[in-house]
Every structure is written in C-alpha cells, then in structure tokens.
Structure 1
Amino acid sequence: MSKLMLDLQGLSLTPAEEQLLLRPAVGGVILFSRNIQDAAQVAALSAEIRSIRPDLLLAVDQEGGRVQRLKQGFTRLPPMRELGRLYELNQAAALDTARLIGQLMAAEVIQVGLDISFAPVLDVDYQRSEVIGDRAFASDINTLIALAQSFIKGMQLAGMAVTGKHFPGHGYVAGDSHTCIPVDERSLETLQASCLKPFVALASQLQGIMPAHIIYTSVDSQPAGFSKVWLKMLRKELNFTGMVFSDDLAMEGASQAGSFPQRAAAALEAGCDQVLVCNNPTAALEVLDWLETQDLEPCTKIAALKAQPATSNNWLNSPEALLARQLADHLVTKDLQSVLHLLT
C-alpha cells in the first residue's frame, strides 16, 4: 500500500532494515545527515535500497541554507532569502538565478540516485518564525511567487518533481512545530489574502504538497495535516491532484492527534497520501504494524514523483551548470554584486 515514508539509522542498510523495506506498507525513505558521508556513499546507499525495492520514493531535504543534508561533494546552496534580496536589485537576474539554483540542486540530488528534495518552501516570511526565517524567498508575496515559480521550473528541467511546503503557510507563527503545536488565529479571509496565495498560484505546477503542523483556529481545530477541511480545500478549491505528504508525525506539532498509529490514521483519513515518521524507529514500526492491519487503498501517486535522471546527467557538465555553481557560491557569501556581474 506504500503509505509510510521512514528513515534509516546509518550510512548503509542493516539486515533488519533490508527486511523492513520489503514490507509493502513502506513507500519511501528519507535520508538525514547521519545517512550521508559523501556523494559516492549516498549513490551506493540509493542503489542498495533500489536493489531491494525499486519502487520506493527516495527523498531528502536539500533546500539550501541551513537545511541542506547533502554537503560533501555537493554545491553549497544559499538560503532562498538571498534570491529575494537579489530580486530587489534586479528582477530578471534574480529569476534567472532562481531557475539555475533550482536546476542545480535537483540535478545533484538526482545524480546520487534520489528522487526528490522536499522543496521549495512557499511560506511567507513575516519575520516572526525562526524556523522559517531565511528559508523563505521573501516577505513580499508577489516576489515570493515569481522566484518560487522560477525555482520550480529549474527543478523540473532537471527531472525532479516539486513539493511545496508548508500548506497553508508556516511563516506567521513564532512557534516551531518541531517542538510545540503552533496556533494561527487569523481569519480565513486574512489567510486567503496572504499565506495561501503562493499555494493558489503554484498548485498546478506542484507534484507534491506538505501541510503544516499548525492549527488555524478560524478554519479547524485540527492542525492542517490532520484537517479534512484544509485538505478538501487543497483538492477542491486549489484543484491540487498530486501527492500530499504529512509532515513528520514525530514532531511535537503532531502530538495532538494521539499515539503514532492514531496520528497516521488521522493524517490518512484527512487526505494525506503518505505519512512520514522520522527519527523514532519504534514509532515507525508501530505505524507500519498498524498499517498492515488496515484495508487501505494503495498509494498510486509515487510513480509521478520518481526522478528522471536522463534529463539532468548531461546538464551537470554544461557551461550553464558551471555558472549555476558560481552563482550559488556568491549567494552563499552574500556577494550580490558578483552575481549581477556574472549575469550582465
């Protein structure tokens, strides 16, 4: 049924993990820093997983800035905020750079055998949320949408499906849903005029969406990822037809839903297609055991998120890819003038 995405303990599979991945309720694997040494090792781990279950979706968080798992042998990527700063100086240059950075990120991830990076962040930066902060493209919504659209184009040119997060918007709350259950008390009308706009504008270009573990009290008493109201809105009003991933069910923001099997049940019942349980092997096993007692429809959307490596392999050796790496280097050091110099 492929409903669970889980993580691994180390740099290669243990015998127990080899058996775990054979269980049909497992649908994907997400890598964290503990699973990553360098590009060659990640490629070997990806191949090891695929030799057991070629149908699994292999994921990583490779946004850039402080959220970049793949480092040794990969380009250091800037936080998306630097693209927003560049946009203030030269819109055309910023849009070109966003496309190139998106393509570079995706191509490097695909090259080591992974399918997706959970990116981009579509949250608006209200300068309130430390966990979002410079992960957001901008505070101005139109700027955010324009840059995200170019970044998305780059990812897709590389052959990677795109997952927008955190629906319907994580940027306004100060609390970190990893460690608490944040509450956003704004009206639906306010949300529609702000945080929801990037998702409305870009839903048709996304293959995946990850809802936030945030309670929006004017809409529902449940966090968005457990809310039939929010996920129905996503499907019916935004006409989103892709994969809905729960955010990590081991986060504190998910705790309101109860035990781990209860969290998985609530997320799937609300409309999530696949649930993530990370950094808690016992919890992942509890969810897996529970899933195997359920008569659930198979997850049919994984195939649409599998990487297309033929699209990106040649590009990584191209002059355009070299330019993308140079642009990334300058953005990491906040040297925007050098970025403009390269593009003009």
Structure 2
Amino acid sequence: MNSREEALSFPTGDLRLGFCAACGFITNTLYDAALQDYGIGNEASQGFSPTFNAFSKELARRWVERYGLEGKGVLEIGSGKGEFLVDMIEAGAGHAVGVDPALLDERLDPALADRISFIKEHYSERHGALTGDAVVCRHTLEHIGPVLDFVSIITRSLEGRPDTAVLFELPDVGRVLRECAFWDIYYEHCSYFTPGSLARLYRKAGLDVLDLELDYDDQYILIEGRPATGAPNAPLALEETPEAVAADVAAFVRDFEATRTAWQDRVRSARADGRRTVLWGGGSKGVAFLTTLGLSAEVDFVVDVNPFKQDKFMAGTGHEVSSPERLRTEQPDLVVAMNPIYLEEIGADLHRFGVNAELVAV
C-alpha cells in the first residue's frame, strides 16, 4: 500500500477452512473473490532473491529439456511480471505468451519483445484458443476458488493436442499443516493442495499425471501431466491418502493456539526487554504473521529485497517496508525471517551491513 492509512483501511475477509475427507482438498469456505484485486498493484515477484532466481532458472531448464521445448511455444497462466517466461526463453523455448492482469510493461525486457507477448487479463474460457507445447501455471491455482472448472478449461483447450505438457507449481499444504505454519494461510490463498489431492484434481480434469515431486526445500509441489488418452494412470509414490491429510489437519487444529501463543510471547518479550524486532519478508507470509499474531508496535518495521515493495506499507497492520540497507543505521536485535530457505542469504546481508542480531526463521 502507498500509505499507512491505506494499509490500515485495507479490506479484510474471514477464513473458515473446510476439509474434504474424500479427496483431501482444503478450501476457505467463506472466500469471496469479489474482495480480491490482482491488478498492477499486486506485487508478488520473488525475482530479487538470488536463492529464488537460481531455483526458477533451474526449473525452467529442467522443463525445457524434459519436454523438448527447445524452439517451441509456452503459455503461462498467471505469469505475474513475466520473469519465469524470460527464464524459459533463456533455457531454449522459442516463444511465449503470458496471461496475467498484473503485468507492467516497464518491467519487460525490450530485447525479448518479439518472443514474449502478454495478455493483461484473468485466464478464462475465452482464452481457450491459446495453446502451446507446454501450459505452465505457477502459484496461481491456490488463488482460484472453482479449481476443477479452471483446470478443465485448460484440458478442453488441448483437445487434439495430446503431447502438450501441463506443468503446475504451488505450495504444499501438507507441510503447512505438519509444521503448523499459520503464516502460509491467508485470504488470497483460497485453495490448498497436497500432492495427492492435486494429482486427483489433475485426473478428474482429464489429465494424466506424469511426474509429481516436492522442491524448494519441500515447500512447493511440482506436478507434470498431459491430456489423458485412456484410463487414468495409477497413483504415484508421493500421493498420500485423504486419511493421512485428515491426520495432519487434526494435528494443526491441536497445535495452532500453542504455536501462535509461542510466537506472540517471543516477539512481545523482545519488545518488553527493549529489543528491536524486524520482520524480513514483506509479502503475504509477513501479512499473515503480523495479523494473525495481532502485532503492531512490537515489530519496528519490515524489510524486503524487492525494491517495488520498499517505502510501501503492509496491508492490515501498516508496517513500513524498507530496504535492507536501513539496517545499517537502525540496528535490530531480533530478525524474523519469513522463510527458512533464505536464512543463509539473509545472514550474509546482515553480516555485510554490520548487524549483530539474533536471526530466526518461522
């Protein structure tokens, strides 16, 4: 948000998570898509982290090589600011189309203008004529309410194209439940999948599951498939049962209050002792962490490496988002990292800025 006042008055919604014992799917039963705005003000890019960039480029290379996409066409649904399509082109793909209302023309590389085109809209049935040799959808399905309808649009668009790869990436809610990671549950994510429930969705929508794995410190599910041409294929090794998900749901319900209280006590005790606390990560995890814990003055400010978040304010709580450079002069005592995969990267930055603080991850 551009001002603290705008951040504090940002609309909110409630979450009531429902679990399907038949397939393992989890959703916010109170979700109202009308409250959401994925226009150009939506800044979800992770492309300013060396750790994430290395993962993104390696994944693009893997998919291009595995599915023979050298010189071929790629369609990405929910392409954000276009960084992954650039990675796909650099990995060998011939041309690409991205569909996303949050695209910003000034963020595009002019040198790739003849190989990448964008449609600034939400993907829907009217885009069914858009096809490629691969359809990519990364960290978008969890923002969709009618998930079967959404994936079925893709399947119908591929009639007569049985060799097209359908490649999705999204968070694994199984990890969230087992680790009681409440900061990974927030309004924008209305649909939550495990590897098993995602594979079951693929098959129900008419896709064969070719590969299923966890990546990025086992935080993300990667699923790869193609339009089914016969009977559904057998479950893969990573597919857990709905009964296993039910046990993880029960554990989350049991442990949530204690986990929340422990984090509240930790941050508030630091404040009471005169120690300064900074949150590292100005994205949705940070918003969920602050709002779920009800934190305000206990956290001095938020740091993010994304320059397009800096000098903005966190929705809900109004905390200012700053560049890591601010830590040179305003030295914190406690730094809470919103993702443990970035601990080494953050630790190196703290050392570079001369910060001698306790660094912990959620």
Q: Which has the larger radius of gyration?
A: 2
TM-score, normalised with respect to structure 1: 0.29
- Higher-RCO chain (CA-CA 8 Å, sequence separation at least 6): 1
Q: TM-score, normalised by structure 2?
A: 0.28
In terms of fraction of residues, the more strand-rich structure is 2
